[in-house]
Amino acid sequence: MLLALRNLTHDRTRFALSVAGVSLAVMLILLLSGYRAGIYRQTAEYLDHAPGSVVVAQRGVRDFLAANSILPPGAAKAVADVPGVARVVPVVAQTAIVELNGRKELVYFIGYDPGIGGGPWSLTEGREPTAEGEVVFDRVMAAEHGIRLGDHVTVLGGSLTVVGLSDETALWIGSFVFADSSTIESLMRAPAAQSFLFVTPQPGVKPNELRGRIHVQGIDAMLKADVIVADQRLLARVYDAAIGLMTAIAFFVGVLVVGLTVYTATIERRREYGALKALGAGNRVLYRIVAIQALIAGVTGAALGTLLAYGLGRLFVAWRPQFPVTIEPTAILVALGVSVAMAVLAALVPARAIARLAPADVFR
């Protein structure tokens, strides 16, 4: 342990470079995984706060954010009549590209009945809409466009008054805007339209059991958790390959940096390791020295990388709140595991070099 530490720190510049390399790799991995976790959480945020545990949608629709769902007339009443249903909350949902202050934005409109739910769950300013033409904007989007309470905003040809600003309603590609159902129906020119029903089972009725009981023409009933997973799968198709590729690149860069450092440190001291072998150190002892060097570089780099990721993550969220970075404790454990894996892989080549050393060569 002592020799490993001294070998590593004897050349401080090299040690600093190896730690910097690993910390950058770990930081990148944590930021990417944090960003992924953040957008996954964003994706689930609305449904997590929506009432009920069963979601009813147009037949064939499996997700919430990407699909257009129009329920057949009378669906809400038919579902409410199913035995075991305690409450049905209808919403009308529509994605639209709108122009705000000359910039195009993707907005996910939610029309709801403020009396029964389905609207914003956290208001930072103002109130929920109480009349047609009143809207609640996401606070991040409002801040980006300089929109304040009381402002009038023209969207899709309709004039809306901003009466509230909501929190946790930004999406990585846009944001939620809430209004009462009639406002959205009028904007969409779709009177009495309903997109989804959020269904709450009566006490004692399990969500899955209730889902099985809902048989209404033209609709599908799904567990809310399954709809969230479907939304996230959709997201995964967009993001996971790119994030996975970048994470793999960061991992290999980390392995290369530690590997190169430990390898050069080992080769430079080849003669010293040969002397140790001649003096009676077995291969196992020498492997341990090399592995500990790699582990010290890896774990120090991981610790520094985690701190950097936290710091940069906070800065990033402050700069662009719609792009969340959520570094979870499990991600830190994974990063530590990743750094150990980097160290083990990085130690393989130097260990081979040591195994090949013939102790008698020390006399040459």
Supply the DSSP symbol for 150: T
Residue 14 interacts with another protein (CB under 8 A): yes or no: no
**Based on CB atoms, which residue is closest to another protein, 40 or 273?**
273
**Based on CB atoms, which residue is closest to another protein, 117 or 359?**
359
**Based on CB atoms, which residue is closest to another protein, 8 or 309?**
8
Residue 127 interacts with another protein (CB under 8 A): yes or no: no
The alpha-carbon radius of gyration of the chain (Å, integer) is: 29
State the amino acid at position 93 in one-letter form: A
Supply the DSSP symbol for 167: S
Among 249, 269, 312, 320, binds another protein (CB under 8 A): 269
> b or e along 292-306 (b: 16 or more beta carbons within 10 Å of the residue's beta carbon)?
bbbbbbbbbbbbbbb
What's the Cα-to-Cα distance from 198 to each of 81, 118, 218, 343, rounded to whole Å?
14, 8, 16, 50
Q: Name the region of 193 (left: φ>0; alpha: ψ -120 to 50; beta: rest).
A: beta
Residue 133, classed as helix, strand or coil, is: coil
What count of other Cβ atoms lies within 10 Å of the Cβ of residue 247?
Answer: 20
Residue 12 interacts with another protein (CB under 8 A): yes or no: no
CB–CB of 183/128 below 8 Å?
Answer: no
**Based on CB atoms, which residue is closest to another protein, 127 or 271?**
271
Residue 281 interacts with another protein (CB under 8 A): yes or no: yes
Count of positions on this chain that bind another protein (CB under 8 A): 24
Among 47, 277, 350, 357, binds another protein (CB under 8 A): 277
Residue 223 interacts with another protein (CB under 8 A): yes or no: no
Residue 156 interacts with another protein (CB under 8 A): yes or no: no
Among 98, 149, 243, 362, binds another protein (CB under 8 A): 362
Residue 359 interacts with another protein (CB under 8 A): yes or no: yes
Among 98, 223, 275, 336, binds another protein (CB under 8 A): 275
Residue 264 interacts with another protein (CB under 8 A): yes or no: no
**Residues in a beta bridge with 179:** 111, 135
Residue 81 interacts with another protein (CB under 8 A): yes or no: no
Cα separation, 185 vs 269, in Å, equals 76
Q: How far is the CB of 22 from another protein (least distance, A)?
A: 21
Residue 238 interacts with another protein (CB under 8 A): yes or no: no
Cα separation, 149 vs 79, in Å, equals 37
Token pair, residue 238, equals 């967009």
Cα angle for residues 115, 64, 208 (degrees, 5° grid): 80
Q: How far is the CB of 15 from another protein (least distance, A)?
A: 11
Q: How far is the CB of 343 from another protein (least distance, A)?
A: 19
Among 44, 135, 276, 345, binds another protein (CB under 8 A): 276
Q: Which positions touch another protein (CB under 8 A)?
A: 2-3, 6-7, 9-10, 269, 271-272, 274-282, 285, 359-360, 362-364
